[in-house]
Structure 1
Amino acid sequence: MKLTLRLLFSITFYIFFTNTQANAQGCVAIRSTGGLCTMDEHPDSTNTNSSWLLNSNNRYFRSYKHFIGTQEQKQRIAQGTNVINHSYTQDLTLTRIFNNRWSFAVDVPILDNSRSSLYEHGGKERLSTHSFGLGDIRLTAYAWLLNPAKAGKGNIQVGLGLKLPTGNYNYQDYFYHTGANDTRTLGPVDQSIQLGDGGTGITTEINAYYNFTHQFGLYGGFYYLISPREQNGISTSRGSAPSPKAVANGSDVMSVPDQIMIRGGASYGVGKFDFSAGVRYECLPVKDLIGGSNGFRRPGYIISAEPGVTYRLKSLSIYAFVPVALKRDRTQSVPDKLTTQQTGVYTQGDAAFADYAVNVGVTFKFK
């Protein structure tokens, strides 16, 4: 029985969210988790022939609103002191479908980021740093748990893979110090626009769908990146000497954090179009599942409403998903907690988030 509804998963940091640094979209560094987190086509239960899927996903967001916890720091925009990140990710994902149950995917991200601020450049003039290049490549094996020939209405897919440290996690640019004697310093760019995190990670995924009719169904997905490496050794001081406070609380070196993404919603087909409405949760946790959690990170999460539309032809699908932020929360990091203990004064840093992200792409199916 041929199914007319398929799963579509976009990423991304987010990071994730995503990078995803992520976003969720913004200074909370959830990097892209791939154009599609799973196969976007459920295999025809009557077709056991092997085939290929090539997906090209484009993700863009602009983060500029600062939050401490869930409280927006509106004065930052009014004063012009907010940080503005522009993040663009091109994900190319090649999936080999071996049969109607097993597949293997390779995701290659290309990132183009910019970050403008006052505080990184002497505080008097808004200037920018940039990063461009290859991100962290993912290799993932997928399997449908139920036999598609017998499970016509719904199924569950699991994925297990590796995230490789192929992205430059020590990307450097010039920081300008304006004043009586203008100077510039070459140093690592902010964690939110680094191309990689420097760690080899283990990716785990669970994706599911259930079709009530040929037109209407539900979908859901869970993604978790396990990052055993605690820190990557890269300084956060932008080419200058770290502050005593940063050394004391351990935020002078970048951490290598885990990432989480959860999606769920409903899809309705009309002719060659599939319309979907769902909820998306992207998170960079305070503490990792495995290994230590020290070092600099901006933990937090974003909950978004995620409308989407997909146009399908025989061997081609074109889609667009636009998660719109409903709740943004910059949580207290490990260095924040250490500073609170050391000084007796509650400390919690801020992070900039986007209002929305745009994911548009195309998937080709071929033999």
Structure 2
Amino acid sequence: MRKLLLRSAGVPVALFVSLFYLQPVAHAQGCVAAHSPQPIIAGLDPTNSATISRSAGGNFLHGLTISVGYRVYNSYKHYIGTVYQVQRQTNHNAVVNHVNLFEMDLNYQFTPRLSAIATIPALDASRHGQSSPNNVYHSGGLGDITVGMQTWVWRPPTESHGNIAFSAQLKLPTGINDAKGTTVTKSGVRQTEPFDESIQPGDGTWGFALGTQAYRELYWRTSGYFTGFWLFSPQDTTGTLTFRPAPGENVVSATDQYLWRGGFSRPVTGVKPLRGLALSIGGRMEGVPVRDAFGSSNGFRRPGYVISIEPGMMYEHGRWGMYASGPWAIERNRKTSVTDLANHTHGDAAFSDYSVIAGVSRTF
């Protein structure tokens, strides 16, 4: 990390906020979340070293930052509400999802405060029953791309070593939402039908997202950070059939998604080989609401949330940045959906214990 960055604890935390901003929102682990755009990383902070060096003295040059991220998890623990359904494991009828999420984020800086951002997500996933590990369904492809703008309230770098940013993005219906496979019914009939929505790359509907991020240096070079993101899906359903027999659950619901993160970050000091390294610890909540903020919420969905403890690290050297985090779930809740309420039932959902997130970025 350049000398200019090492003078401020606010910059490492800003990098944390930016590199983890808009992470898989509701790649809430397991079946709860659809896999519409939930960027693992997004729009890099204009206070990074490359931008500071270019804008020093008022000679600001346009710059492009490209980031590539990855997230992986296995969901297999079923919950109804916050109650773990241990009998699913005992009876060997649990459903197991293995999900690999990939993402490319683009940030083009127009001014120190204003940038254009875009996210291109992709998914590779498999799903099988605990009792039938050889009968595996694979799904993968492009997700729903988002494009938009991000702006900082104050021109970075700030004297207070703190700032607030807001973003707005349009979600494009580019994602595959009806990937299909062949299944065998109880009567032995083979039929082709869409995969479960938990392993569909996108939902194929239009939407928009609003986000914010903030950081502030506190004491002893320790800084606090916060990020928030909400993906709005006004369309009622995606149009993809589920072939579920319960009333109202024959089609997939187009769901909102959200992510909240907050915590503390501190650069590693006093050890020359570790210059450029910062560590963080915080909390994370991501999920799918029972009802969307706009429009109806009919169709089949698995609403709920995951609350996690999230340790992380980030290393920055020149124009390169690397990061990793490992959210560990401490509370999982599969909430009652609209169709559950109408049918007087309460479906379950599978969650993972933890996920691994990693990535790298380069400013040009």
Shift in alpha-carbon separation, 1:186–1:42, aligned structure 2, 3 A: same
Partners of 1:214 and 1:94 in 2: how far apart?
33
Q: 1:13 to 1:214 in 2, by over 3 A?
A: closer
Does 2:196 match 1:196? no
Q: 1:56 to 1:49 in 2, by over 3 A?
A: same
Structure 2 CA distance, aligned partners of 1:202 and 1:28?
A: 20
* SS of corresponding position for 1:42: coil
In 1, distance between residues paired with 2:18 and 2:312? Answer: 9
Deviations 1:69-103 (A, max 9, x none): 00000111121100100110110111101121011
> 1:155-198: CA deviations, max 9, x gaps?
1000001111101111111113477xx54211100011111112
Number of residue-to-residue matches in the alignment? 340
Give, in angstroms, the shift of residue 214 of structure 1. 8.5
SS of corresponding position for 2:89: helix
Normalised by the length of structure 1, the TM-score is: 0.87
Alignment of 1:184-333 (within 5 A): 184-212=190-218, 215-237=221-243, 242-243=244-245, 246=246, 248=247, 250-270=248-268, 271-333=275-337
Deviation at 1:140, TM superposition (A): 2.1
RMSD: 2.1
Q: Which has the higher helix share?
A: 2
Shift of 1:312: 1.2
> Per-residue CA shift, 1:302-326, capped at 9, x if unaligned?
0000000111100111110110001
SS at match of 1:303: strand
Give the direction of change, closer, same or farther, for the CA distance of 1:178–1:292 in structure 2 (3 Å limit).
closer
Q: Quick check: 85-94 or 28-37, which moved more?
A: 28-37
Mark the CA change 1:153 to 1:295 in structure 2 (over 3 Å): closer, same or farther: same
> In the superposition, relative to structure 1, how do residues 361 and 288 fare at CA in structure 2: closer, same or farther (>3 Å)?
same
- Residue number in structure 2 paired with 1:34: 39
Classify 1:323/1:175 alpha carbon distance in 2 versus 1 (closer, same or farther; 3 Å). Answer: same
In structure 2, relative to structure 1, the CA distance for the partners of 1:41 and 1:273 (3 Å cut) is farther
Which residue is 1:10 aligned to? 20
Instruction: Give unpaired runs (5+ residues) of structure 1.
Output: 19-23, 341-346
Q: Is the 8 A contact 1:30 1:283 kept in 2?
A: no
Shift of 1:39: 2.1
Q: Write the distance in 2 (CA, Å) between the matches of 1:169 and 1:29.
A: 13
Deviation per residue, 1:215-273 (Å, 9 max, x gap): 42111001001111001111111xxxx52xx2x3x111100000010001111101221
Q: After TM superposition, give the deviation of residue 298 of structure 1 in Å.
A: 0.2
Partner of 2:146: 138
Unaligned runs of 5+ in 2: 269-274
Residue 11 of structure 1: how far off its partner (Å): 7.4
Call closer, same or farther: CA 1:215–1:67 in 2, change over 3 Å. Answer: same
Distance 1:13 1:81 in 2: 31
Of 58, 65, 70, which aligns to 2:70? 58
- Where relative contact order (Cα < 8 A, 6+ residues apart) is larger, the structure is 2
SS in 1 for 2:198: helix
Please give the alpha-carbon distance, in whole angstroms, between the structure 2 residues aligned to 1:160 and 1:234: 27
**Scaled by the length of structure 2, what TM-score is found?**
0.88
Any idea what the Cα deviations from partners look like across 1:36-68, whole Å, max 9, x if unmatched?
144245353736322111101011000000000
Distance 2:185 2:23 in 1: 31
Q: Partner amino acid for 2:202?
A: G
Q: Percent identity among equivalent residues?
A: 36
> For residues 174 and 277 of structure 1, do their structure 2 counterparts lie closer, same or farther at Cα, with a shift above 3 Å needed?
same
Pair 1:153-2:161 in alignment: yes
**Structure 2: distance between partners of 1:214 and 1:143:** 28
Give the deviation of 1:336 after TM superposition: 0.4
Partner of 2:340: 336
